[in-house]
With several copies, the nearest count.
Chain A
Amino acid sequence: MTTVESAGGPTTGSDVDLGVTLAGVYLPTPVMTASGCAAAGRELSPFLDLSAIGAVVTKSVMLDARSGRPTPRMVETPSGMLNSIGLQGPGIDAFLARDLPWLVERGARAVVSIAGGSLGEYAELGRRLGASPGVAAVEVNISCPNVEDRGQVFACDPVQAARAVSAVRRGIPRDLPLLAKLSPDVTDIVTVAASVMEAGASGLTMINTTLGLAIDPDTLAPVLGGVTGGLSGPAIRPMAVRCVWQVHAAMPDVPVVGVGGVRTGRDALEFLLAGAHAVQIGTVLFNDPSAPHRVAEELRAELSQRGFRSPSEVVGLAHRPPAAAPS
C-alpha cells in the first residue's frame, strides 16, 4: 500500500484550520453530535465546550410532547447497540422556549432536528421553527412512520420523503439550511437522495440507524419494548460510508454529513474521503462523552500528517480514479 501525501509534506497540527462551511453555515470543526445522542446539549457541557465543537444536533423533536416507548429501550450488540426510544421529548414549543435559547446563549451552533408523523406535522414544525431565532440549520428526520400512509416510513419512499422535506422547506426562511436525514433501509439510497434534494434540501445527513432486532434468550421474547430498534455504532460504519460514497458519486456537489459509527479521527477522515463535508457522532458519545472534541483533534493530526491544511481539501478524494494516485 502506498501513502499518498497529496498536499506536499506533513504540516504541523497548528497549520490545520478545522473550520468548514456546510450548506452556508460556518462550523469551527466538522465534528458534530448526532441527533438523539446528545439530548439538547446541556448534559454534555461538563465534558465538552459546546461552543467549540462543530454543532450540536438536537434530539428530534415532534410537535407535541412524547413519552416514548416502554423500556427496555436499548440493547448492546457487537460494536453497536439497538435503540427504540420512540422520540421521547417535550414537543416543539417547550423545546424552542427552553432548550434552544440555552444552546444559543452558550455560543453553540444549534442544528435542530425535527420529526413528524404526517405531512401536516412536518409543515407545522417548519413554521414554528422558521419563526424562531437562533437556529443554525434544520435537520429533518424522515425515518418516522407516516400515520396517513399505513405507517410506511417517509424515508423509505422517495416521493413521501420529498413531500416531508418540502413541507418543512415551505415554513422556514430560504437561507436556513435544511439537511434531510436519510435511512439506509432502502434498495436505492441515491434515488431518495436526489428526490429530497429536488424537494428543497440544502444537504443530506447519512445515515440514520438501520432496522434491527434482538431476542432475549432468557425471556424468549424480543428485548426491546418496541420489538424492533435502530442499529447504530461502529458496526454499521461500513454501511454509512458506502451510502455517503454512493451519493457523492452520483451528486458530487451535494453537501453531505456522514454519520454512523464514527469513533476516531481516522473514521472521520474516512467519511470525508468518501464525500462527506462533516460528520456526526452518535453512539460513541455514550462511550466517550468528550468524543466530538477528541475526534476533531485526532482529525487535525491525521490531516496534518498527510500534509493537508483543511478538511475541505480531502472531501471526496477517494473518488479520484486510481491512476491519479502515484504508486
Chain B
Amino acid sequence: MNREPLQVRGRVLSVDRAGEYHHLTLVAPGVAERTRPGAFVALAVGGETSAMLLRRAFSIYRAKASGVYGDTVEVVFAVHGSGTAWLADRRAADEVDVVGPLGRPFTLPTEPVPCVLVGGGYGSAPLFALAERLRERGCPVHMVLGGATERRLFGVLEARRSAQTVAVTTEDGSAGTTGRVIDVLPEVLARTGAPVVYACGPMGMLRAVAGLAAEHGVWSQCAVEESMACGVGVCMTCVLPVRDDDGLVRMVRSCVEGPVFRGERVLWDAVGTVPAGTVGAPRVGPGR
C-alpha cells in the first residue's frame, strides 16, 4: 500500500468540545487509508493572509477510509496559541489544508502479548487506533490515562470500551488516582506482565515512562512532540539526540524518523542539547 503522505484540501466536518480539548473531524480524501496508529497530520492555519506560515502538527486520533462522509481524519487538540485558537474557531465546511499522514507509526508486536498504553492529556488520542490494531492481533490492551485535571483527560469512556483495564490519574484528584501516570505504571506493568509499553504525552512523561520501562526490562515506544517547522523532513528543526543502531548518537528528525521512537534510544536528559560525542558535534562556530 502507498504510504506516502498526501497534501489535500480538507473540509471541516465538525469541531466539538471534549473536556478542555477540541475534537476536529476533517474530510481529507486519501489520507485515512494511508494512516497507521501513531502517524500525525500537519495542518495549515490562519488562511491565505495569515501571518502564521508554519503548519501545526497533530496526532491522528481516528482515520476512516470511505466512511459516511468520505475519508475522514480526526484530531484532538488543546488551544495553545493562535494557530490552535484558529482551528478551534472553524465551522463545518471550512477549508483546512492537510498534509499527512506523516511520521513513523508505532511498531506492533509480532506476538499476541499484553500491551500497556500510556496517554498524557491529549496524548491519549492516537492510542485508540493503536489499541484496535493490537486487539486485532490478539494483544490484550491495558490503558493508563493521566491529566492535570479531569477535564484534561481524553477518552476515558472510550478506553473503558477498548481496553481490558484502565487506570486513570489526575494531579488534582478530580478523577481516578491522585498523581501522575508514572505513579500507577509500576503496578500496571506488574499486574499485566506486559513486555511493551506505548506512550504519548508531554516530554517529561515520556522520559519517565521510558526510564521506568527500562528499569522493568520492558520495551517502550514513545511518540515525542518536538517543535516542527515543516513536518515532512526538510527543515531540520525537530531533532533530538537518539542513539542509532550503530551505537552512535545522532541528531535525528522526529518528523520523519519519529515521532515514535524506542524509549531507550532517546537521550531524554540531553533533549535540547547536542550531547558531546554526537556525530558532527560542533568544533567551529556554525553558520546559518
Contact = CB atoms under 8 A, between A and B. Distances in A.
A and B touching (Cβ–Cβ under 8 A): yes
Interface of A: 36-39, 43-44, 46-47, 59-60, 64-74, 76, 78-81, 83-89, 91, 115, 117, 141, 143-145, 147, 151, 153, 208-209, 225-226, 229-230, 233-234, 283-290
B283 to A, nearest CB: 9
A235 to B, nearest CB: 8
B282 interface: yes
Main secondary structure of the interface of B (DSSP, over half): loop
7 contacts: A37-B230, A67-B282, A71-B240, A144-B287, A147-B285, A226-B286, A288-B7
Contact of A86 (B53, B229, B279, B282): B282
B7 A290 contact: yes
B161 to A, nearest CB: 35
Nearest to A39: B234
Interface of B: 4-7, 44, 51-55, 97, 99, 226-227, 229-240, 250-251, 256, 271-274, 278-282, 284-288
A81 B5 CA distance: 24
A212 to B, nearest CB: 11
B286 A47 contact: no
A276 to B, nearest CB: 21
Instruction: Determine which residue in A65, A71, A83, A226 has the highest number of CB atoms from chain B within 10 A of its CB, and name it.
Output: A71
A5 to B, nearest CB: 19
Contact of B274 (A46, A70, A81): A70
Contacts of A234: 51, 53
Given A67-B281, A288-B97, A78 B235 contact: no
A89 B279 CA distance: 10
A153 B282 CA distance: 17
A285 B237 contact: no
Contacts of B284: 117, 145, 147
Given A65-B279, A70-B272, A226-B286, A287 B237 contact: no
Nearest to B45: A287
A283 B6 CA distance: 19
B250 to A, nearest CB: 8
A71 B230 CA distance: 15
Contacts of B271: 71
Contact of A43 (B53, B233, B282): B233
A225 B272 contact: yes
Contact of B280 (A65, A71, A84): A65
Nearest to A80: B53
B234 A68 contact: no
Contacts of A37: 230, 234-235
Contacts of A86: 282, 286-287
B234 A38 contact: yes
Contacts of B97: 288
A115 B235 contact: no
Q: 4 smallest A-B Cβ distances: which pairs?
A: A144-B287, A86-B286, A43-B233, A65-B280
Nearest to B249: A67
Contacts of B279: 65, 67
B6 A67 contact: no
B53 A283 contact: yes
A29 to B, nearest CB: 19
Contacts of A80: 53
Contacts of A72: 227, 237, 272
A144 B266 CA distance: 30
B280 A81 contact: no
B227 A74 contact: yes
Contacts of A286: 53-55, 229-231, 234-235
Instruction: Determine which residue in B51, B284, B287 has the highest number of CB atoms from chain A within 10 A of its CB, and name it.
Output: B287
Contacts of B230: 37, 285-286, 289
A228 to B, nearest CB: 9
Given A145-B285, A283-B53, A286-B229, A73 B4 contact: no
Contacts of A290: 7
Given A151-B285, A208-B288, A286-B53, A44 B280 contact: no
Given A73-B239, A290-B7, A66 B282 contact: yes
Contact of A73 (B51, B99, B236, B278): B236
A265 B281 CA distance: 38
Contacts of B240: 71
Instruction: Determine which residue in A47, A60, A73, A208 has the highest number of CB atoms from chain B within 10 A of its CB, and name it.
Output: A73
A230 B5 contact: no
Contacts of B236: 36, 39, 59, 68, 73, 85, 88
B53 A44 contact: no
